[in-house]
Amino acid sequence: MSNDEVYAAGLLNRALDPATQPPEIQAFLRAELDLLHDVIMEGMRVIDVGCGTGRHLLLVRDRLRLGVGVDYEHSYIAEADRRAGGRHLHFVTGDATAIPVVATFDFAMCLTNTWGTMSDKTGVLREIRRLAPKPHTRLLSVYSEASVPSRREWYRRLGHEVLEDTREYLVTEGGFRSEHFSEARLRGLVGDCTIHPLADIAYVVTF
């Protein structure tokens, strides 16, 4: 299976159940929520690339003038729509390398190592830059190399034993592929950016 098939089979919903998450993963997910509270300001227009079922936009919805979430898995978008119930949040089915949106945004985010599961990383960055044209208003959160042991355990609990473990990615029995990054690799892929550690197993990249 490829990542799109794994997501279509509903992996995200099981992965977001805290009962499946090792403590390091729980700490990382909580740190992302705290980060959002710090970076999303009143009245912003925000796009979430690879939004899943929309939890991050839903968390900050009261601050937003407009929130748009994009994900290629239609069942996640349908669930996000159902949760949002309209009111300045919009969810769109589409690929992150060809986002069917022409508006521009004050802020773009791609969280929870979503970018690390996407095959055409440069194509996704191109779309993020188009949609949030001002530098330093674009944010990725991605796994560092230190995330490997806790991800191995998390994926095992989800029935995805890790079969391949390299310096750059893990591949599971179920065909799920997820990357991790060094600072040097991030700078090589993203170019001019700032990088900060997040929890003990991730980086926040702003560009």
Ligand X SMILES: C[S@@+](CC[C@H](N)C(=O)[O-])C[C@H]1O[C@@H](n2cnc3c(N)ncnc32)[C@H](O)[C@@H]1O
Binding residues for ligand X, per CB under 6 A?
A: 7, 12, 50-52, 55, 71-73, 76, 95-96, 111-114, 117-118
Please, what is the minimum distance in Å from the beta carbon of residue 41 to ligand X? 20
CB-nearer residue toward ligand X: 33 or 41: 33
Please, what is the minimum distance in Å from the beta carbon of residue 183 to ligand X? 21
CB-nearer residue toward ligand X: 72 or 107: 72
Please, what is the minimum distance in Å from the beta carbon of residue 7 to ligand X? 4
CB-nearer residue toward ligand X: 18 or 184: 18
CB-nearer residue toward ligand X: 110 or 184: 110
CB-nearer residue toward ligand X: 174 or 184: 174
Please, what is the minimum distance in Å from the beta carbon of residue 171 to ligand X? 15
Q: How is residue 136 written in tokens?
A: 């330093």
**DSSP per residue over the chain, as a string?**
--HHHHHHTTHHHHHTSGGG--HHHHHHHHHHHHHHHHHPPTTEEEEEET-TT-HHHHHHGGGEEEEEEEES-HHHHHHHHHHH-SSSEEEEE--TTS-S-----SEEEE-TTSGGG-S-HHHHHHHHHHHS-STT-EEEEEEBGGGHHHHHHHHHHTT--EEEE-SSEEEETT--EEE-B-HHHHHHHH-S-EEEEETTTEEEEE-
Please, what is the minimum distance in Å from the beta carbon of residue 123 to ligand X? 9
